Structure 1
Amino acid sequence: MINKKDFEKRDYIKIRISIIQKEKWKKVCSEKKISLTNLIINSVENRMMDNERKKVLEFIENQDNVFVKIETNINQVAKITNSQKFVSSKDLNYFSERLTEIIVLKEKQNRIFESIYTLLAK
């Protein structure tokens, strides 16, 4: 059985590094807006940094917004089509091709998101 106390951060590791190394590490932490502890632990355990995780989540949110806009445009086209009661076969073919492209892109996006979520879980 796993004991929660085993995962509490109550132990310390003291390491010796040069002043130059320390300043480089602090600069990296400052740029990434993470703690030195976070940098070391995530680097040693080969995990994604918190700042990278935030960027990925922002990317996912932006992608979702793009598809929401596309879906809104599709609904507007459908509304116009329904009100006019006529669509040329050329326009219908063009629209159908775009819908097919969107479906393919959405499937690719979902596969990418699955990979990203797997990385985030580590």
Structure 2
Amino acid sequence: MLEENFNIESAVIFFRIKSKIKKDWKKICNEKNISLTRLIIDSVENRLMDDERRKVLEFIEKQDNIFVKIETNVNQLAKVVNGQKFISESQLELFSKQLSEIASLKARQNKIFENIYALLSK
């Protein structure tokens, strides 16, 4: 057994619930692609469900991809400006504002990620 391989002590708990409730819980588990045991334990311990954890990780990956695209665009603009050896003052001002906004968004994103990681570690 997996539990024996990790020297984890486990206990069995029996409790009674109505068949309808069990059926409803099983339906929830099927929808979330988690086990009934995980549903109960995570609910009691007020932890993120495995399906929610997967969604959070997907969100983080999407956010990272967005910033990779932005960084690529910045690099492309820098290449054009370096090739022309010129950028108008209005373009430079707009570009600087956009870079500041990106830096601000990245800082906010990092703070959100810190909070998410704290939730995931529970």
- Tell me the distance in 2 between the aligned counterparts of 1:8 and 1:62: 38
Distance 1:26 1:8 in 2: 26
| Aligned positions, number | 117
State the TM-score, normalizing by the size of structure 1.
0.93
Shift of 1:8: 3.1
Task: Name the structure 1 match of 2:9.
Answer: 8
1:72-107 CA-to-partner distances (Å, cap 9, x unmatched) read: 000000000000011010100000000000000000
Q: Which residue of 2 aligns with 1:68?
A: 68
Q: Which residue of 1 aligns with 2:118?
A: 118
Where structure 1 has 5 or more consecutive residues not aligned to the other structure, the ranges are none
Matches within 5 A, 1:25-104: 25-104=25-104
In structure 2, distance between residues paired with 1:86 and 1:112: 38
Question: Per the alignment, in what secondary structure is the counterpart of residue 40 of structure 2?
Answer: helix
* TM-score for the superposition, normalised by structure 2: 0.93
Partner of 2:3: none
Over 2 Å off, 4+ runs: none
RMSD in angstroms over aligned alpha carbons? 1.0
Q: Which amino acid aligns with 1:8?
A: E
Unmatched segments (≥5 aa) in structure 2:
1-5
Q: Deviations over 1:26-77 (max 9, x none)?
A: 0110111000000000001111111100110110011000000000000000
By relative contact order (CA 8 Å, sep 6+), the higher-ranking structure is: 1
